[in-house]
Structure 1
Amino acid sequence: MILTEFNELSRDAALSTLRPALDIPRWQEEIVDARPFTSVQSVQELALTAAQPFTETEIDRALAHHPKIGERDGSESAEARLSRTEQASLGSTSDDDAERLKQGNRDYEERFGHVFLIRAAGRSHPEILAELTRRMKNDPQSERAEVAEQLRDIAALRIEGMLS
């Protein structure tokens, strides 16, 4: 789909189009109701600021659609397809890094109660592992803020892919 088509969709169809980018209805509504957009960049800019701050419930809802980093969601949902594409950009990893990521995911989930979320696109496995290590030192409130920021970054990248 291109931007002009997105601008012309019915409100419900436009909301459905955005859902795989970030399943937070309040965020989707703010973007859809701001149409028409003159550039994909303007949609992305709004995606980074819309519906701030996310509520705890909204973050939990959005996280429910994200597989663990380093693991592939085999379902055919739009979110799963996007996640597979994003994580494919990481390329292959050493067995050691894969095991460290697996253990890091377990430790993170035990500490924070949800999957470790990070924008995978444009990052290497060592970068992701370094971020995982750094973020394990966060207090829960700081980590929730980082998760919200990562959700926005992922959504902006997905919008670019959807509308370009």
Structure 2
Amino acid sequence: MQLTTARFDAMPEGEAVALLLECCSSRTWAHSVAAARPFGSRTVLLATAAAAAENLDGDDLDEALAGHPRIGERTEDATSRREQSAVTGADTDILNRLAAGNRAYEERFGHVYLVRAAGRTAPELLEILERRLGNDPDTEKTEMRTALAEITRLRLERLVTDTAGSRA
């Protein structure tokens, strides 16, 4: 499904929230972005959505993270499969190291390792994971929020355009 910003601005709040939940599973985020309408342009919508994602905290952030599978694990979610397509067919060593890194990350930080996987290779995803395991909790929280905003933006960009048939 793809729609214009004008159509998104005009849709009933419940429909807008449901659409937004496809991009980020935080109900607080989805309601916040839907309530900020009308945007008038895709640029304003994307900026508002990114800021809202970067400001999630506590249970709202946990809810957003819960919507993301581990990097390298098989998932039923078509969006996540597409975003993580680089790990499909990756060599066994990389997949094993990603699995071990995911476990270490979750033990260290208490939540799933979140990274924008789209456009990255499996070795790049592993390199980022290994680097981020060395982060202090505050630095990692910042990186994780940035990743959440990037993922949310990419998903929203696929759904909303400025004009019919265009991704302006």
Pick the TM interval, shorter chain: 0.7 to 0.9
1:37-76 aligned within 5 A? 37-50=39-52, 53-74=55-76
Greater Cα shift, 134-143 or 22-31:
22-31
Letter matched to residue 24 of structure 2: L
Question: 1:119-139: CA deviations, max 9, x gaps?
Answer: 100111111111101110111
C-alpha displacement of 1:144: 1.7
C-alpha displacement of 1:11: 1.0
Given that residues 65 and 112 in structure 2 are in contact (C-alpha distance below 8 angstroms), is that contact kept between their aligned partners in structure 1? yes
- Using the alignment, how far apart are the partners of 1:61 and 1:50 within structure 2? 14
Q: Structure 1 length as normaliser, TM-score?
A: 0.87
2:102 alignment partner, one of 87, 102, 105: 105
Greater Cα shift, 91-100 or 65-74:
91-100
- Using the alignment, how far apart are the partners of 2:86 and 2:35 within structure 1? 32
Q: Which structure 1 residue ranges, 4+ long, deviate > 3 Å from structure 2?
A: none
SS, match of residue 49 in structure 1: helix
2:120 alignment partner, one of 120, 123, 135: 123
User: What residue in structure 1 maps to residue 36 of structure 2?
Assistant: 34
Question: 1:75-116: CA deviations, max 9, x gaps?
Answer: xxxxx2211121125553112111111111111112112211
Q: CA-atom RMSD, angstroms?
A: 1.8
Cα distance, 1:15–1:162 mapped onto 2, change above 3 Å? same
Given that residues 90 and 121 in structure 1 are in contact (C-alpha distance below 8 angstroms), is that contact kept between their aligned partners in structure 2? no
User: What residue in structure 1 maps to residue 82 of structure 2?
Assistant: 85
Unpaired runs of 5+ residues, structure 1, are: 75-79
User: What residue in structure 1 maps to residue 8 of structure 2?
Assistant: 6
SS, match of residue 68 in structure 1: coil
1:142 alignment partner, one of 139, 142, 146: 139
Aligned residues: 159
Given that residues 90 and 122 in structure 1 are in contact (C-alpha distance below 8 angstroms), is that contact kept between their aligned partners in structure 2? no
